[in-house]
Structure 1
Amino acid sequence: MRRYWFGDIDGSVCTPAQGDEDRILERCDTIREKVDVGFVPLSVDEACNCGFFADRAEYLARLRSITIRDARKKIVEAFSEGDAELIQMVRMLDEMDEVINLLTEKAGEWYLVKNPGFSRKYKSMSAKRMVGVMKKERGPLGKICAEIDALSNHRATLMRDISKRTDAVMPNCSALVGGLVAARLMERAGGLSTLAGLPASTIQVLGAEGALFTHLRAGSPPPKHGIIFQHRRVHNAPRNVRGKVSRAVAGKLAIAARIDYYRGEPDPEFIERAQQRIDAVGEKE
């Protein structure tokens, strides 16, 4: 007996599939046809001769409707995963960083036009403190700086929310390198499933694609780390062992991502062994 999405054919007996489109999609998931050298797919004419469809136009219309429903179902499933929202949260955080930095820079230039004598202090002040000073200005500049300060507070809240959500979606990666770094790695990879399939060498340089392509094209020194440089164990490591530490972190992250994707639950024993291994690499030199 040969099984197809629209029905079964057993010799000269044709049995149409029963149920609505959702039932037909469930049926499609159960069909496993062995494709060998002599395999010939069912023609539209044969399907019509069996009485499943009146003509080719009806066959194509029904097939189109089924495939569209299947695509919608898969899209809903993909966006219902926890990492889909987390990706958008990270991207929003990055956009907020760019907006805050640009507005702060432009507001600083505006403030210096009004207060030329402030130029020496401006160079040594942090951006946040500079915004606090400019907020005291009367008029539009002060109002804009107040908005920048409010946006910075929203940014801080979003960052905390990202860390909390990462703890739920990627508990082992989050425990290993922190929620924000883990979320940025997942966003750059394109999702938890993709991150779980990457080798450690790729995870190590995620976020350093520009430097990697320059190395391949011009022969410059290869990058030793990308986003994982934001993790304290990497950026606090001495320069002579930073590459080794980043490799160790990336190796453990590759395993942690797989645990998060396939199990979805914390593994404290693995995290403890991984932390000890990373610490040991940093203490060797």
Structure 2
Amino acid sequence: MQEVILTELGIVALDGKRRAAAFPFADAAAEYMAVRRGEADVSGIAEHASSLDSGVAVNDAALLEALRARSVEARAMDEEGVGRVQSEKLAILVEAGFASDERDAEARLRDFAMGLSSARVGEASQSDDAHIMQAIRAMDEADRALNGHNSRLREWYGLHFPELENVIDGIAAYARVARIGARGDITREALGGAGLDPTVAEMVATVAPKSRGGDISGPSLAVVRELAGHILGLASHRRALEEHVTAEMERVAPNTAAILGALIGARVISRAGGLKRLSSMPASSIQVLGAEKALFRSLKTGALPPKHGLLFQHPLVHASPR
């Protein structure tokens, strides 16, 4: 029985230790990956194997399935055979004609390894879930920046208009008022032009003239207004990121988005390291994604392990009775 061997440089059929047929790869990394994915044209080796009476033994599962799909009598090579192929790889490459000698074979394998690494990096960077991961991370970073800038704006502008803190909760709404400027400039017309809700605008306009906050200098007020404008721009950018993540999740991972929601689903994919890795994770690992520090702390100290991580953000989880 001949052996059909997938190597990094091509496919070879060996009769004993002698070459019976060889099919070199023109683009080693790309064609090797295509065979492993079951997408390669294996008609040449299939035609050769079909002409044999005793069938063939194959060292690669994907190649085996491709040959069987073409009605070739083939079986998987045993572990001993696979180990022998690995140990004799250089000699096999030379016998197949893929290299002139063993030194040349080593050089070609190094080139293959570099090409394969580059191809995999390129493939990973083109995957849709990689872009979702970057987008949700950018959105979460925007949230952290917004919260930090909002706290600073409230403390700073609060020196001039402290009562506003108790009237407005929203980050963007507070920034719109601060963007107007000094208390004396906060009128119903100015608030309406800033896009505030009429009811809230009426409350702010009523409170502003009675404020007991201190005066603020022109230069300080200019910086405060600039900070408020930066917050509004960042909030707009954050909304655009959320819309993008939602649209991409519905396109790339609709089932995950339907179950977890687009944003939580994207965070779970990001924490898992990709959609493919998430799909192969056991439920127990998915349950504690985002709570790794607490999990390791429990292993180290003997404390109770975390029950949930990112999934706790889902309303059905955090609103459920304990």
Q: Would you call these one fold, judging by a TM-score over 0.5?
A: yes
SS state of the match for residue 17, structure 1? Answer: strand
Which deviates the most, 30-39 or 161-170?
A: 30-39
Aligned twin of 1:21: 27
Q: Percent identity?
A: 30
Q: 1:163 aligns with which of 236, 239, 246?
A: 246
In 2, the alpha carbon distance for the partners of 1:50 and 1:225 equals: 54
* Residue 88 (1) aligns with residue 134 (2): yes
TM-score with structure 1 setting the length: 0.70
Q: In structure 1, what is the equivalent of residue 255 of structure 2?
A: 172
Residue in structure 2 matched with residue 194 of structure 1 by the alignment? 277
Partners of 2:108 and 2:140 lie apart in 1 by 44
How far does residue 152 in structure 1 lie from its aligned partner after superposition?
A: 0.3
Cα deviation 1:183-205 (Å, max 9, x = unaligned):
11111111112222222232222
Q: CA deviation at 1:88?
A: 0.8
Q: Could you tell me which amino acid in structure 2 is paired with residue 32 of structure 1?
A: N
1:52-201 residue pairs with structure 2 within 5 A? 52-113=98-159, 115=160, 118-119=161-162, 121-122=164-165, 125-126=168-169, 127-137=171-181, 138-201=221-284
After superposition, what is the alpha-carbon deviation per residue over 1:181-238, rounded to whole angstroms, capped at 9, x for unaligned? 1111111111112222222232222222233333333344433332222222222223
Distance 1:27 1:94 in 2: 37
The DSSP-based 3-state class of the residue aligned with 2:180 is coil
How many correspondences in the alignment? 236
**Matches of 1:130 and 1:228, distance apart in 2:** 31
CA distance in 1, matches of 2:276, 2:32: 24
SS at match of 1:198: coil
Rate the CA distance shift 1:218–1:124 in 2: closer, same or farther, 3 A.
farther
Q: Which has the larger radius of gyration?
A: 2
RMSD in angstroms over aligned alpha carbons?
Answer: 3.0
3-state DSSP of counterpart to 1:135: helix
Find the aligned partners of 1:83 and 1:134 in 2 and give their Cα distance.
Answer: 39
SS in 1 for 2:299: helix
Q: Which has the higher helix share?
A: 1
Q: Any stretches of 5+ residues in structure 2 without a counterpart?
A: 37-41, 43-57, 61-76, 182-220
The gaps in structure 1 that reach 5 residues or longer are 241-285
